[in-house]
């Protein structure tokens, strides 16, 4: 599952992005990868481990909601089965 969000560009510079990506671990569990920064520049990345998919998805959706309140808009979302 992926969610890609952006704050539109302003007169001052490039748009900001926030990318959430859920990935299954090789050793039982799930990793939520968060990446953010300015489009076209190096950003920051954080990886959080969760014991099961349900808790990882709940954390992902909570982070999405926090970013939406900050002004980000969902540009792309891909669900996995």
Per-residue model confidence as pLDDT tens digits over 9-22:
777 778 899 999 99
Name residue, tokens 């952006």: 6
Instruction: Spell out the domains of the chain, with CATH numbers in brackets.
Output: 2-78 (2.20.140.10)
* Mean pLDDT, rounded, of the chain: 92
- Which region, left, alpha or beta, applies to residue 67 given φ > 0 means left and ψ of -120 to 50 means alpha? alpha
The answer to whether residues 30 and 54 touch, using CB atoms and an 8 Å cutoff, is no
Could you tell me the CA-to-CA distances from 71 to 22, 26, 53, 65, 79 in Å, in that order?
A: 22, 35, 27, 10, 22
Confidence of residue 81 (pLDDT cuts 50, 70, 90): low
Name residue, tokens 């969000």: 5
SS3 label, residue 42: coil
Q: What is the pTM of this model?
A: 0.87
The answer to whether residues 59 and 31 touch, using CB atoms and an 8 Å cutoff, is no
């Amino acid at each position: 599952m992926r969610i890609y969000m952006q704050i539109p560009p302003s007169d001052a510079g490039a748009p900001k992005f926030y990318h959430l990506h859920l990935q299954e671990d090789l050793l039982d569990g799930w990793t939520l990868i968060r990446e953010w920064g300015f489009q076209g520049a190096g950003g920051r990345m954080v990886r959080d481990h969760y014991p099961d998919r349900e808790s990882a998805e709940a954390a992902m959706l909570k982070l999405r909601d926090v970013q939406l309140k900050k002004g980000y808009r969902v540009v792309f979302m891909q669900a996995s089965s």
